[in-house]
Structure 1
Amino acid sequence: MQMTMKGIDIADWQKNLNLDSIEYDFVIIKGTQGTNCVNTFCDAFVQKAIKAGKLWGFYHFMNMDDPVKQADHFYQNCKNYFGKGVPVLDYEDGGRIGTDGAKKFLDRIYALTGVRCLLYTYRNLTKEEDWSKIAPNHALWVAQYANENQTGYQDSPWLPDGGFGAWNTCVMHQYSSHGRLSGYNGNLDLDIAFMDAAAWSRYAKPSTYNAPVETAHENSGSTADLAAGVMRGKYGNGGERKAKLGTRFNEVQTLVNRAATASADDLATDVLNGKLGNGETRKVILGTRYDEVQAVVNSRVNAVDIDALARAVIRGEYGNGDERKARLGANFDAVQKRVNELL
């Protein structure tokens, strides 16, 4: 009898799922999408899985952006997951860039890491597009549902005859998007993997794996800068992250966790107090929550008396340089502009 394992795959909208409360052998978590989206909840799930001794993977959701830039985005934000979890390219209708584009993404990741991503797609897409240049090097994780009924884990989920285009077989099968498991009150994608833990580890860390070059890390930046580095994968996971961040670990991890769990209102307060940095740093920390939080920030900024703040700056009440930026937070640009006008 073929060895199988049962598991789930999850995205950012399932942020309230507690992995400790459900049964699973493996979990695959959305890491990135396109060229600018990062799932801020990914790392919390990864750390949970690692702590529980579970197998895990991470995926990039392809859109119509340049495939090489998408691969670079995936790598930069998930760099330290390679060689530990199984990487996946998620190719669906919204990202049908063509198999030539998918191959550019996959080849780029292989060049950077020495790891071959699995390819996730619908069964019909395996037949509608020519995957002959991809199938020999990239195993298939196929999505095919018997129906839309709610279900728990299945030992032998239905797959129709007719194969998978360029692939002779699939190594994983997503058989429901309406999965129901004890411990979570919501739908889950359910999967079966036709392999054992040793095979999973070989997909995660093949003999061709190239570990990223380690360099000394300078931890003198702001908490926000270091948290953004964590979100980009710069500091690794678990014990590796603790070692690299040293005495800064607790403050940085607290900010990472807060960005994933705090309300938009509380995070907007953090932004206005300068705790989440500015520009790209803030975007990386907030990830998929950026627009939600920035909308709250903007509504508050519009209500602030910029003129009064500018006059307080001129009186010296907000200091200079970085001190002024930190204290004014998201109001800095508007206030400084008014200061310049008044002077």
Structure 2
Amino acid sequence: MLKMVDVYSDSPRSYATQSGVDIIMVKATQGTGYINPHCDTDYQAAKRAGKMLGFYHYCGGGNPEAEAKYFYKNTKNYVGEAVPAVDWESNQNASWGNTNYVRRFVDEFHKLSGVWCLIYVQASSISQVANCAKDCGLWVASYPSMDWKSWKLPNMNVKTSPWPTYTVWQFTGDNMDRNVVNTTKEGWKKLAKGSSKAEAKPKKKSTWKKKSGTFVLGQALEIHKEPHISSPAIAKLPKGSVVKYDATLQGPKRLWLRQARSKGYGYIVGKDKYGKALGKFK
């Protein structure tokens, strides 16, 4: 295993060149308006000292795509050389508890960079980022106590499910954030490189399937003239409305339901682009 220290603006600058440490993970940005003023200073110092590198973004909870774009804009020169990470915590996070926020963030960052982020989260809140397990490595925070001030690994079980294990385990968080990294130097470099460009997924042909059912709206939704989100609305239905449908279409992003009407058909979204049902199917 490798040793890693994560550093931020209030860390002593000496942490970036800490003896005996393999990797330095530097805080870069937060939200869409903060850049760590010491980010590049620490990054370049660690690089000159022969350390492997990482850089992370702290989520503010405003808009995940906007945050990912801000992160990429201010760190794109690090991409390919260092491993990116996203920090998901409750403090100063307006969307804490949202189980799709980080998924949307990592998707957008991957689209821009071709690299998947590590995801930092406390062990008790892994469920909030569980839908990222197939693409992203887990950086889990789990401490034996808040006064553990040693590189000696504590003898404790670390929750990681649905990940089979962690990529990084942060096990101290008092005087220094100490981490162990469950890979080799070559493995870390591979995480940093990702693909040469964001992967283009092959397009699947969407076809209607005859399927009748009832859909109870979990929120206000529009019925469209065509099965496209930009298509003009026929009507806006309030939460609790009941829609009977006679066919379904799994599009590239959304599940559409077809409603027979007096003059043709209307179309309503049953599941959003993250696979979340927008009501109850009966």
Give the TM-score taking structure 1 as reference length.
0.54
Q: Distance in 2 between matches of 1:20 and 1:64?
A: 32
Secondary structure of the structure 2 residue equivalent to 1:152: coil
Q: Per residue, is there more strand in 1 or in 2?
A: 2
Question: Given the alignment of the two structures, is residue 44 of structure 1 paired with residue 41 of structure 2, yes or no?
Answer: yes
Contact 2:54 2:83 in 1 (8 A): yes
Once the two structures are TM-superposed, the CA of residue 7 in structure 1 deviates from its matched residue by 1.7
Q: Deviations over 1:145-166 (max 9, x none)?
A: 0012242212x333326x4232
Match of 2:106 in 1: 106
Match of 2:123 in 1: 123
Once the two structures are TM-superposed, the CA of residue 21 in structure 1 deviates from its matched residue by 5.3
Measured at CA, do residues 149 and 15 of structure 1 come closer, stay the same or move farther in structure 2, by a change above 3 Å? closer
Moved over 6 A (4+): none
Once the two structures are TM-superposed, the CA of residue 130 in structure 1 deviates from its matched residue by 5.9
Equivalent residues in 2 for 1:1-343, closer than 5 Å: 4-17=1-14, 19-20=16-17, 22-94=19-91, 95=93, 96=96, 98-127=98-127, 129=128, 131=130, 133-154=131-152, 156-160=153-157, 163-178=159-174, 187-206=175-194, 208-210=195-197
Secondary structure of the structure 2 residue equivalent to 1:176: coil
Q: Deviations over 1:95-152 (max 9, x none)?
A: 325221111110000000100000010000014x361x21000010100000122422
Q: Distance in 2 between matches of 1:170 and 1:117?
A: 14
Q: Distance in 2 between matches of 1:83 and 1:90?
A: 19
Secondary structure of the structure 2 residue equivalent to 1:32: strand
Q: Distance in 2 between matches of 1:195 and 1:177?
A: 21
Write the letter of the residue equivalent to 1:60.
H
Once the two structures are TM-superposed, the CA of residue 15 in structure 1 deviates from its matched residue by 4.8
Contact 1:28 1:58 in 2 (8 A): yes
Unpaired runs of 5+ residues, structure 1, are 179-186, 212-343
Q: Deviations over 1:82-104 (max 9, x none)?
A: 11100000001133252211111
Measured at CA, do residues 18 and 160 of structure 1 come closer, stay the same or move farther in structure 2, by a change above 3 Å? closer
Measured at CA, do residues 141 and 22 of structure 1 come closer, stay the same or move farther in structure 2, by a change above 3 Å? same
Write the letter of the residue equivalent to 1:209.
S
Q: Deviations over 1:288-341 (max 9, x none)?
A: xxxxxxxxxxxxxxxxxxxxxxxxxxxxxxxxxxxxxxxxxxxxxxxxxxxxxx
Measured at CA, do residues 31 and 130 of structure 1 come closer, stay the same or move farther in structure 2, by a change above 3 Å? closer
Q: Distance in 2 between matches of 1:62 and 1:175?
A: 21
Write the letter of the residue equivalent to 2:183.
M
Measured at CA, do residues 7 and 130 of structure 1 come closer, stay the same or move farther in structure 2, by a change above 3 Å? closer
Give the TM-score taking structure 2 as reference length.
0.65
Unpaired runs of 5+ residues, structure 2, are 199-282
Q: Deviations over 1:202-227 (max 9, x none)?
A: 10002x1339xxxxxxxxxxxxxxxx
Measured at CA, do residues 141 and 20 of structure 1 come closer, stay the same or move farther in structure 2, by a change above 3 Å? closer
Q: Distance in 1 between matches of 2:10 and 2:181?
A: 23
Contact 1:144 1:159 in 2 (8 A): no
Contact 1:64 1:97 in 2 (8 A): no
Contact 1:63 1:97 in 2 (8 A): no
Cα RMSD of the aligned pairs, angstroms, is 1.8
Q: Per residue, is there more helix in 1 or in 2?
A: 1
Measured at CA, do residues 7 and 18 of structure 1 come closer, stay the same or move farther in structure 2, by a change above 3 Å? closer
Contact 1:118 1:140 in 2 (8 A): yes
Secondary structure of the structure 2 residue equivalent to 1:88: strand
Which piece of structure 1 moves more, 163-172 or 102-111? Answer: 163-172
Match of 1:263 in 2: none
